[in-house]
Amino acid sequence: MNSPVKPPSALLQRRALWVLLTVVSVALGWILWPFYGTILWGTIIALLFAPLYRWLLVKLPGRRNAAALLTLLAVVLIVILPLVAVIASLSREAATLYEQVQSGAVNPGQYFHDLFDALPRWVKALLDRLGLIDWNTLQRRISAALSQGTQFIATQALSIGQNTFEFMADLCITLYLAFFLIRDGAALSGALREAMPLAPAFKQELFAKFSTVIRAVVKGNLLVAVIQGTLGGVAFWFLGVSGALLWAVLMVFLSLLPAVGAGLVWAPVALYFFASGALWQAVALTAWGVLVIGLVDNVLRPILVGKDTRMPDYVVMITTLGGMAVFGINGFVIGPVIGAMFIAAWHIDAVVRRTAQSPPPPAPD
């Protein structure tokens, strides 16, 4: 007679379940990885516009689909249409600049040549004493690098217009996902909270940190970057610099980097104005860059980013740089979020260990 089969122990079942969860989670991440950018921005849209959805839901009780559609319409009007208009204008201007670089009408090497010739003699003598004697070779190398860099920027901007189908497909997927995240975000968040094997206080801390950091980084960094790029583009347009819109967009991207940002664009242009004898343009651009563009970074960024995230400025900067190095443009969000979750996770671990090591309360007499 066969003996009855013993059911697996609870510990064995738990371990098997953890192995299964790990395998299916890794598999899901693997198949979704090509769309991580669209998933990220769909989540960001849902988080940023959740207050509007809740307000509309009060005005339209019980009509969740209508409230989510109106929220998505606001996203299209406020964000998507202006972005598409800027991309279209940028593509046209990039094509023009690329043709000028190719034809020689715009020559970055000549700009460097003029700047080098304008250096005072004592500066050239100092550079000679430092061993930098072969300035003709160095000049040719830097000129070639500047020319290649300008062509790279122009061609990358031009490729945006050439990849219109891919851009529109990603945009449609992002908006489609954002609709369901806006409508069902509260239920999904509740399901994730219930599934996490942590104490309720720790779950609250992690979810609050995640949403707070995303809102602060996106609203803060993007707002600061757009303001700085707009101010720099207006200055370039007023001073007659060709390709003002292209340089404005470049300043927006560089302004995502704390501390350096737009100065990497307007400072060399101001130096060129000084070297070419356009003194009032040089003084005006320098004053505008330091007093206006720089003030936006020094005043608004700590208020909008550091205050909400409760992260030191150096942590925000290094996680932003590291995130962009690994994930590209999406890294300016992913990097600080990973940094914030790292700090929160270690804080939770410290609390758990401190609680485990604390002596039990004395028994009552």
Length of the chain: 365
- Cβ atoms of 179 and 50 within 8 Å: the answer is no
- The per-residue DSSP string of 136-173 comes to HHHHHHHHHHHHHHHHHHHHHHHHHHHTHHHHHHHHHH
Q: At what angle do helices 135-162 and 81-103 cross, to 10 degrees?
A: 140
Q: Are 38 and 177 in contact (CB under 8 A)?
A: yes
Per-residue pLDDT of the chain (365 residues; tens, 9 = 90+): 455 656 666 777 777 888 888 888 889 889 888 888 888 888 888 888 888 898 988 888 888 889 889 999 999 898 888 887 777 777 777 667 666 666 666 555 566 666 666 666 666 666 666 655 555 665 566 556 555 655 555 555 555 555 666 777 888 888 889 899 888 888 887 777 777 777 777 777 777 777 777 777 777 777 888 888 888 888 888 888 777 787 888 888 777 766 667 777 888 888 878 777 778 888 888 888 888 887 777 777 666 665 555 666 677 778 888 888 888 778 878 888 888 888 888 877 777 777 766 665 555 55
| Cα(253)–Cα(251) distance, integer angstroms | 5
* Distance of alpha carbon 344 from alpha carbon 204, whole angstroms: 11
> For the chain, percent helix, then strand, then coil, each to nearest 5?
85, 0, 15
Residue 9 in tokens: 């122990």
H or E segment to which residue 277 belongs? none
Cα–Cα distance for residue pair 333/309, rounded to 1 Å: 12
The model's pTM: 0.70
- Tell the residue number behind the tokens 């217009």, with chain if given: 161
C-alpha distance from residue 58 to each of 63, 78, 189, 216 (Å) = 9, 22, 20, 25
Q: How far apart are CA 256 and CA 318, in angstroms?
A: 12
